Amino acid sequence: MDPLLILLIGMAIVVGGILIFRTHAFLALVIGALVVAALTSPVAIEIYAESKGMTAAETENLVDQTFGERVARGFGNTAAKIGILIAMAAVIGACLLESGAADRIVRSALGAFGERRAPGAFLSSGFLLAIPVFFDTVFYLLIPIAKAMGLRVRRDFLWYVMAIVAGAAMAHTLVPPTPGPLFVASELGIDLGVMMIAGLALGLVTASCGFAYGWWANRRWPIPVRETSEVSTEDLEAMSVRPDEELPSFGLAVLPIVLPVVLIAGGTVLGATLGGVDAAAPWQATLLKIFSGLGNSTVALTIAAVVALVILARQRRGGRERVKNTVQNALKSGGVIILITAAGGALGAVLQQTGIGLRIEELATAYNIAVLPLAFLVTALVRTAQGSATVSMITAVGILSGFSDPAVLGFHPVYLALAIGCGSKPIPWMNDSGFWVVGKMSGLTEAETLKTFSIELTLMGFAGIAVVMIAAKLLPLI
């Protein structure tokens, strides 16, 4: 069977299961993976194994596996790569919220920028917080402050909302350890430090584009603060927040976020600067080995999670039960993300075994379709169809991972990862949970959400792929 037909069947099962039958994403992905694996012929599996350089024994072992075993193997390999990372990121995020560290970051940003530059404060806070905390959670945290600020200055409320979205949405799909970019980096064999640095750089550019659109939209369609189902304007005006003395210092608040970035990126930067252990002086080699050990993504995030827990325990002043409950709830949430991500990894693994990568490569050559626009369009189609940015990235990288060789691409595979991340932005609408979170909590109508939130994310995605294509041409990094 043609790999493209198998791909369409698999996508129809996943998208149809989620949208039409309202099946949980985990079940839809697993069922889709099982069907794809069952439809893949032994000949296709042999060709796939040969393309991966497997030995005759390894190839025979793979062909002899049942389709259920191949799905389970793909699931397990994915969970082994990112399971601990997602769990630790969930703990870090929960501790930031419960300890007041996230609140301290926001207040410090507002203090540094001032009320006149409050949109910039919301943009930077959203971007920073979305590195370890999921988009919905970041928006939950910041929207009450945006409403209170809107009531205080009586203007620019829509700009505040769109600044939060611009910052949080781009970090969510470009900067690990959030699941989407984390998974894409691991599948394409990209060093996590390189992915972090590249994602931060591109995220700042694309978020600035969304920020500019927010400014324009706020001038064209000024929207006041409105009452919503969870809070009235009177409650907002009378809203009491924790005194500053009950919050951790700014240095402590940002430590769980900055620490893993420094450890992971530090090893990458040192390795590139010193030229490796063999080329470095003895003390430099020792430093590089330390960073290589501590900069391992699992170790770095575990250290950051411990630091976040210490901060939470310190702020709670001995509330052990509350700390325990915070961790348990975080791990429950992280567990669901791990299941969905690993199921997506299983689908991607069996899709690769169909020969879809070689088939798309043939089409790209025949029709002269460049790889980066192709990655962007594939991801955008999946995103528009089923609503989840993370699932669209997981699906797309399963199709496109065969292009990860720099010799094939002509540039570093991090550009392919960034193209996939940008493709996960267009086009959010009613099938996207973020659409409803932003619209309902901001008091926007569906039409207002479409022309603000949906257009903003779409513009940022297209701006991002344009920057990625230019950068890959001018700075291939190989």
How many other C-beta atoms are found inside a 10 Å radius of the C-beta of residue 343?
28
By the 10 Å C-beta count (0-12 exposed, 13-18 middle, 19+ buried), 445 is classed as exposed
156, 218 in Cβ contact below 8 A? yes
Task: pLDDT band for 238, please (50, 70, 90 cuts).
Answer: very low
Q: In terms of pLDDT, which residue wins out, 94 or 319?
A: 94
Task: Give the pLDDT confidence of 143-160 residue by residue, as tens digits.
Answer: 767 776 777 677 888 999
Give the C-alpha separation, 397 to 393, whole Å: 6
Residue 42: pLDDT over 90 = yes
As a whole number, mean pLDDT of residues 67-71 equals 94
Angle of helix 179-187 relative to helix 389-400, nearest 10 degrees, comes to 10
Give the C-alpha separation, 39 to 412, whole Å: 33
Q: What tokens appear for 349 in the block?
A: 């693994």
Residue 256's pLDDT is 86
Give the C-alpha separation, 237 to 444, whole Å: 19
Q: Where are the domains of the chain?
A: 3-474
pTM given for the model:
0.71
Give the C-alpha separation, 383 to 393, whole Å: 8
Residue 240: pLDDT over 50 = no
Residue 385: pLDDT over 80 = no
Task: pLDDT band for 212, please (50, 70, 90 cuts).
Answer: very high
Residue 286: pLDDT over 50 = yes
